[in-house]
């Protein structure tokens, strides 16, 4: 699997809970590409700015709902990613892309820096 990673914004250490959840969301999204997309590559975009961490994993594979959760899937991958984001007060979405493929996106709020 070829994974292209594009990072924007600050690379300062994240709080442990956000760091672990972000890692697990990326890990599960890439695992779903391997298992369900029928393609050998995906893109991961991480953007840390304006008090939030944004994660987006996209592929140009089959794109259907069998990406690891929901009625067509046999696992709980998408449900788990959604729950991780929600526990941190963030947003999550996953679904087929209009031009084909699949997209997973999460936004996790970051605590204000200590002064």
pLDDT, mean of residues 49-72:
77
CB 37 within 8 A of CB 2: no
Return the domain boundaries, the chain.
Answer: 2-97
What's the CA gap between 23 and 16, in Å, rounded?
11
Cβ-based neighbour number of residue 6 at 10 Å: 10
Q: How confident is the model at residue 65 (pLDDT cuts 50, 70, 90)?
A: low
Q: What is the second-level CATH architecture of the domain 2-97?
A: 2-Layer Sandwich (3.30)
* Mean pLDDT, the chain, integer: 90
What's the CA gap between 39 and 25, in Å, rounded?
19
Task: State the residue for tokens 């939030």.
Answer: 52
* 15-38 residue pLDDT tens: 999 999 999 999 999 999 999 999
Cβ-based neighbour number of residue 45 at 10 Å: 15
Helical segments of the chain, H only: 16-32, 77-87
Q: How confident is the model at residue 63 (pLDDT cuts 50, 70, 90)?
A: confident
pLDDT of residue 35: 92
Percent over 90 (pLDDT), the chain: 79
pLDDT of residue 39: 93
pLDDT of residue 52: 97
């Amino acid at each position: 699997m070829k994974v292209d990673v594009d990072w924007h914004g600050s690379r300062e250490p994240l709080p442990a809970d956000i760091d672990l959840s972000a890692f697990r969301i990326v890990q599960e999204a890439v695992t779903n590409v391997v298992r369900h997309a029928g393609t050998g590559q995906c893109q991961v975009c991480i953007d840390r700015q304006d008090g939030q961490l944004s994660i987006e994993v996209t592929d140009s594979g089959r794109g259907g709902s069998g990406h690891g959760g929901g009625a067509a899937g046999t696992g709980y991958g998408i449900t788990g990613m959604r729950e991780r984001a929600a526990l941190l007060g963030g947003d999550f979405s996953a679904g087929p892309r209009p031009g084909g493929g699949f997209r997973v996106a999460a936004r996790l709020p970051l605590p204000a820096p200590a002064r």
